[in-house]
């Protein structure tokens, strides 16, 4: 059986089907892995509740782990907490920029969006 680090290393090789320059781990949709003697459960959070790419991500995650000898792979989808672009790391943000996508900046810690405040220019 793979270790936790090995499972995450495998998942780092699974590209986002819509933006293949980053992995599902870099996108932040892989939230956790649970390893038991029977197999691996991967917990994922979709970027939004109706994300059509999640079925493909689920199939790709299962295929990658099964190919590495994991006997059983279960993918558990959770909507809470809701995915946020804050879960995209700086290295992945740079990959997105080079690909031509400007990810949003970090969310305000205050919780509310102030419409009257000057905002930085959008890339």
Residue 105 banded pLDDT, cuts 50, 70, 90: confident
Average pLDDT of the residues in 4-16: 97
Structural domains of the chain, ranges and CATH numbers in brackets: 4-99 (3.30.300.130)
Q: Report which of 117, 122, 47 is spatially closest to residue 82, judged by C-alpha positions.
A: 47
The reported pTM is 0.84
Q: Tokens 């270790």 — which residue?
A: 3
* Predicted pLDDT at 3: 95
Q: What is the mean pLDDT of residues 109-118?
A: 56
Q: Which two tokens stand for residue 73?
A: 């792979």
> What's the pLDDT tens digit per position in 51-84?
889 999 999 999 999 999 999 999 999 999 999 9
């Amino acid at each position: 059986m793979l270790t936790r680090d090995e499972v995450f290393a495998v998942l780092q090789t699974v590209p986002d089907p819509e933006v293949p320059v980053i992995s599902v781990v870099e996108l932040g949709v892989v939230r956790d892995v649970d390893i038991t003697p029977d197999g691996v459960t991967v917990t994922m959070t979709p970027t939004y509740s109706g994300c059509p790419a999640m079925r493909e991500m689920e199939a790709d995650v299962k295929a990658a782990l099964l190919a590495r000898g994991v006997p059983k792979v279960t993918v558990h989808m959770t909507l809470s907490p809701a995915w946020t672009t804050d879960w995209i790391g700086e290295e992945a943000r740079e990959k997105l920029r080079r690909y031509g996508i400007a990810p949003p900046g970090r969310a305000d810690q205050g919780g509310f969006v102030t419409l009257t405040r000057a905002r930085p220019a959008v890339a």
